[in-house]
């Protein structure tokens, strides 16, 4: 496994499997002209997204980017998931973490001698 093992997590593979079943249901619905099959498949895809998100937030999904060798395994739980991953949309939707690179200004004097107002994101 490489240092960039994107998607090689329990959350990623579970979501992929559920979404594949949903897309197959959509395809069968389209081929047979059955609207219920199409809507059922769409519902399964939505459930797959929700399950993937829940698994990611519980630590079975990992943030993008390089990880230490100890985090490369598929069955290794991410212990930093509670704080949220910087720049992760799923964590932000759950109210965890903060956006990557969020500038924070504090009250005080700037280098130019002008007062600086407090502005916290």
Task: Give the DSSP letter of residue 88.
Answer: -
Q: Strand 108-109 relative to strand 115-116: parallel, antiparallel, unpaired?
A: antiparallel
pLDDT of residue 1 exceeding 50, the answer is no
* Per-residue pLDDT reduced to its tens digit, 21-74: 999 999 999 999 999 999 999 999 999 999 999 998 888 888 767 777 777 778
pLDDT of the residue at 74: 80
Question: Residue 115 belongs to what H/E stretch?
Answer: strand 115-116
Reduce the DSSP state of residue 109 to 3 states and report it.
strand
24 vs 116, more confident: 24
Residue 18 and residue 44 in contact, taking contact as beta carbons nearer than 8 Å: yes
pTM: 0.68
Helix axes 10-32 and 35-55, enclosed angle (nearest 10): 170
Mean pLDDT of the residues in the chain:
80
Residue 16 clears pLDDT 50, i.e. is over it: yes
Structure tokens, 45: 């895809």
* Residue 119: predicted pLDDT: 55
How many CB atoms are located within 10 Å of the residue 30 CB? 13
Taking residues 107-118, report their average pLDDT: 56
Q: Is the CB of residue 83 less than 8 Å from the CB of residue 96? A: yes
CB-CB neighbours of 51 under 10 Å: 16
Where exactly are the structural domains of the chain?
Answer: 10-69+81-116
């Amino acid at each position: 496994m490489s240092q960039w093992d994107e998607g090689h997590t329990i959350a990623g593979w579970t979501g992929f499997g559920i979404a594949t079943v949903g897309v197959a249901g959509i395809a069968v619905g389209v081929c047979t002209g059955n609207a219920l099959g199409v809507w059922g498949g769409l519902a399964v895809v939505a459930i797959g997204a929700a399950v993937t998100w829940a698994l990611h937030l519980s630590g079975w999904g990992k943030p993008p980017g390089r990880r230490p060798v100890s985090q490369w395994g598929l069955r290794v739980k991410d212990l930093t998931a509670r704080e949220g991953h910087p720049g992760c949309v799923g964590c932000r939707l759950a109210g965890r973490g903060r956006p990557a690179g969020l500038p924070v200004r504090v009250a005080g004097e700037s280098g130019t001698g002008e007062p600086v107002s407090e502005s916290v994101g």
